[in-house]
Amino acid sequence: MEEHGIKDKILNGAAELFLKYGVRSISMDDIARHLTVSKKTLYQHFEDKEDLVTLASEFQIEKSKKQYEALTVSATNAIDELARISVCLKNDAAEMNHSLLFDLQKYHPKAWGVWIEHKNKFIRDSVVRNLRQGIEEGYYRPEIDPEVMAVMRIETIPVAFDIRVFPKDKFNLAEVQLQLFDHFVYGICTDKGRKLYQKYKEVTQQTTTLNIL
């Protein structure tokens, strides 16, 4: 039990560093210092950095899946779910380094494969389900194809991380992700859906303001 706890602590701590600083700039020494453990302890649980990056990616994805699954269960309708997702999306992107996906794709193919599978399976299926639900509820336009729209949506996610498209000295990652998400939502909604989404967003903004005050 103790060994399992140490491994989870390492995975969680490594994932936090990777999200904040990217993967390439973080060494095993950095992770050891961050967690106040020895490098020997790291290598007792992981073969090398590639192994740690891959398992930390899986660990973080599982955390994210649980978060979004709980969000789906608590949502009262398809629009409510999207409004809640927009808040999570903005918060997650605010803590994420622009170089994260680029680092995984270029230097850690196994971890990149884990993320791609998550994107193309879990996220895609979640979007398709939400779209079908929203059409049935009358909030989304009935003529849209959920499969096509789901692919379009998930393919815009990595675009926001591409510094060639959105240079980090000009664009804020969280704002870019939110702009792309809102563009998608307003494009699929009926008038009824747009009004309800806007209402949820206003409530969220008021709540955020009150929390700041």
Q: DSSP letters of 89-125? A: HHHHHHTS-TTHHHHHHHH-HHHHHHHHHHIIIIIHH
Give the H/E segment covering residue 161.
Answer: none
So what's the pLDDT on residue 139? 98
From CA 26, how far away is CA 111, in angstroms rounded?
15
From CA 33, how far away is CA 27, in angstroms rounded?
10
So what's the pLDDT on residue 208? 44
Cross-strand partners of 140:
189
So what's the pLDDT on residue 124? 97
From CA 173, how far away is CA 57, in angstroms rounded?
20
Confirm whether 5 is domain-assigned. Answer: no
So what's the pLDDT on residue 206? 59
What residues contact residue 39 under an 8 Å CB cut-off, 6+ apart? 28, 29, 32
Confirm whether 166 is domain-assigned. Answer: yes
Q: Residue 146 corresponds to which tokens in the numbers above?
A: 């959920």
How many residues does this entry show for the chain? 213
Total tally of structural domains belonging to the chain: 1
From CA 168, how far away is CA 160, in angstroms rounded?
10
Confirm whether 159 is domain-assigned. Answer: yes
Residue type at 77 in one-letter notation = N
Digit-coded pLDDT (tens) for 139-174? 999 999 999 999 999 999 999 999 999 998 999 999
Confirm whether 36 is domain-assigned. Answer: no
Residue type at 96 in one-letter notation = M
Confirm whether 84 is domain-assigned. Answer: yes
So what's the pLDDT on residue 91? 87
Confirm whether 15 is domain-assigned. Answer: no
Confirm whether 138 is domain-assigned. Answer: yes
CATH number, domain with residue 112? 1.10.357.10
* Contact predicate 126/153, CB 8 Å: no
Residue spans of alpha helices (H) in the chain: 2-21, 28-35, 39-45, 49-74, 78-94, 100-107, 109-118, 124-137, 146-156, 173-188, 191-212
Confirm whether 142 is domain-assigned. Answer: yes
Can you say how many angstroms the Cα of residue 159 is from the centroid of all Cα atoms in its chain?
13
Tens of each residue's pLDDT in the chain, 213 residues:
356 689 999 999 999 999 999 999 999 999 999 999 999 999 999 999 999 999 999 999 999 999 999 999 999 999 999 999 998 988 888 889 989 999 999 999 999 999 999 999 999 999 999 999 999 999 999 999 999 999 999 999 999 999 999 998 999 999 999 999 999 999 999 999 999 999 998 887 655 433 433
**Segments forming the whole domain that contains residue 199:** 49-212
Cα–Cα–Cα angle for 161, 167, 171, rounded to 5 degrees: 85
